[in-house]
Structure 1
């Protein structure tokens, strides 16, 4: 008899796999705009040289008009003029140094007066006598300039008449020397510097006994005969800007400020190695002479006029 083996139980069916969960749908990426093709650059058209020169003249003339406006009001609004020069240059339209070529002068301050001294052109000082030390009445050198060692002023800033006369042609010196001796010269102070572009600036202050002697001094006119034989003529840009400012205000600008007579000249035509620009400021008992020379090129208009304006303000 055959033994029956017990039946092997059937394997339990494997549990059905759970349905796979669909992955979470990623948020749709924001649509990226199609790149816009850059416009074709316009062809560069070279500016003709005459047009570039005209632009420079317009810029210089615009700066000059602003500067002359300060000069025109020097007699009636000196405090306002000083306030403007002491503000940050970028706070006043057109006063920034970088675009127009103006030099970076330190803050301009009037010098202290001796105790009890009167201000020039005050009611009790109609002759315009300046009692401050001459060194405080001369413009300081701008940033980046190096001192002019050829002047050799003394400790009080003064130089000898011969040092001043060395700026003139030899044949002009004897007559001017006699005039300085006979017409009340008290002392001469000088300061000078050279800027990186090679422009050499000298400022001389001649102090006379009274303004009557200053009136007769002929050494700072269009007849000025500098070393090298340069011929000087009126600076037409200066005169035009001054006249225009006067017309805007309804008067002749040349007659606004009787206390400060300013003459601005330039070499025309440039003949020698050094081109010359000259300004003469007559202020009471003082005669200021601002002289700029530059080898191989005329000193730039904007910084020269700026220097004249600021020197004039110091004498006000």
Structure 2
């Protein structure tokens, strides 16, 4: 945007004051008039001194004030127009503020499903058990653009065995018993594969209350560790790149990444406790490169927002 230079208007002339006549001639103590300095004689050949001018007509002052007022109004209108223009533009349309592609996936517009009549939201004051009254399947994150849907995880209910298959075989029996003891109601899941080979799977486990969901989190030893190991992982560690500012009110995430060196694929996983629901989000990609961090954290944040 070309800068606009505002030229300042000339300062108005200050009207000369008419000389004041002395009220009286000062006298000495003897009553003799004090000596008055004589006026210097005119210089020969010099032009006669201009006669003293009286106050200028007020129109010149008014015109100067009008010019300054107009300049201020023009400057203010230019600034206001720029601010309104920036406010109405997309971020990518503003020079210097364009966001370069950072690998985020393109998700459809998200919206929360309608609640049954008279049912409160999970973290409202009238819902001490923090129950999600909406259909859990409608709280699953949808697949982004370009994804190939998983034929087994289509966004509907899945059997417990499908969830157990995510974990190591030697741990499945113990985990199965934990789920039975935790009053598990049902599991919803969705999965997809992206063009770069990244596989995403999300499970939502719903219990009778927030107490049961939190108890299972404790039984899985999720906290400083990733709990019961899932298939294909060696050593998981807390993801230090996770920003606590991205936390959704009411939802507590535990974010992990597989530590190098890893095997034939790299795994990122996260558990999120949201009232009566426990979410498990998994991203994997085969090869020697790590699973992309940004789309994983993007998926986790959006899923947490749906649960919150």
TM-score, length of structure 2 as denominator length: 0.64
Question: Structure 1 residue aligned with 2:304, among 271, 295, 312?
Answer: 312
Q: CA deviation at 1:100?
A: 1.0
2:293 to 276, 301, 312: 301
- C-alpha displacement of 1:158: 0.5
Larger Rg: 2
Higher relative contact order (CA 8 A, sep 6+): 1
List structure 1 segments (4+ residues) > 6 angstroms apart after TM superposition.
91-95
1:45-74 per-residue CA deviation (whole Å, 9 max, x = no partner) reads xxxxxxxxxxxxxxxxxxxxxxxxxxxxxx
User: What 5-or-longer segments of structure 1 have no aligned partner?
Assistant: 1-87, 246-252
Residues 100 and 229 (structure 1), Cα distance of their counterparts in 2 relative to 1, 3 Å cut: closer
How far apart are 1:228 and its partner, in Å? 2.5
CA contact (8 A) 1:129 1:210 kept: yes
CA RMSD of aligned residues (A): 2.5
Asked whether 1:224 is paired with 2:228, we answer yes
**Structure 1 pair 126/150, CA: closer, same or farther in 2 (3 Å)?**
same
Q: Which residue of 2 aligns with 1:207?
A: 206
Are 2:175 and 1:176 aligned?
yes
2:267 is aligned with 1:276: yes
Structure 1 residues 107-141: Cα deviation after superposition (integer angstroms, max 9, x where no partner): 01011111221111111013211011111101000
The number of residue pairs the alignment matches comes to: 213
**Cα gap change, 1:91/1:189 in structure 2, threshold over 3 Å: closer, same or farther?**
farther
Q: Which runs of 5+ in 2 are unaligned?
A: 1-89
How is 1:90-129 mapped onto 2 (pairs within 5 angstroms)?
90=92, 99-129=101-131
Say whether residues 1:233 and 2:237 are aligned partners: yes
* Structure 1 match to 2:253: 262
Contact preservation (8 Å) 1:232, 1:265: yes
Aligned pairs for 1:190-205 (under 5 A) are 190-205=189-204
Q: 1:220 to 1:133 in 2, by over 3 A?
A: farther
Distance (whole Å) between structure 2 residues aligned to residue 173 and residue 226 of structure 1: 10
Cα distance in 2, alignment partners of residues 314 and 95 from structure 1: 28
Equivalent of 1:146 in 141, 148, 152? 148
Q: TM-score, normalised on structure 1?
A: 0.62
Contact 2:187 2:204 in 1 (8 A): yes
Report if the CA contact (8 A) 1:220-1:280 is conserved. no
Distance 1:134 1:220, change over 3 A: farther
- The CA deviation string for residues 1-26 of structure 1, in whole angstroms up to 9 with x for no partner, is xxxxxxxxxxxxxxxxxxxxxxxxxx
Measured at CA, do residues 314 and 294 of structure 1 come closer, stay the same or move farther in structure 2, by a change above 3 Å?
same
CA spacing shift, 1:90–1:284, aligned 2, 3 Å: farther
Other structure's SS at 1:314 match = helix
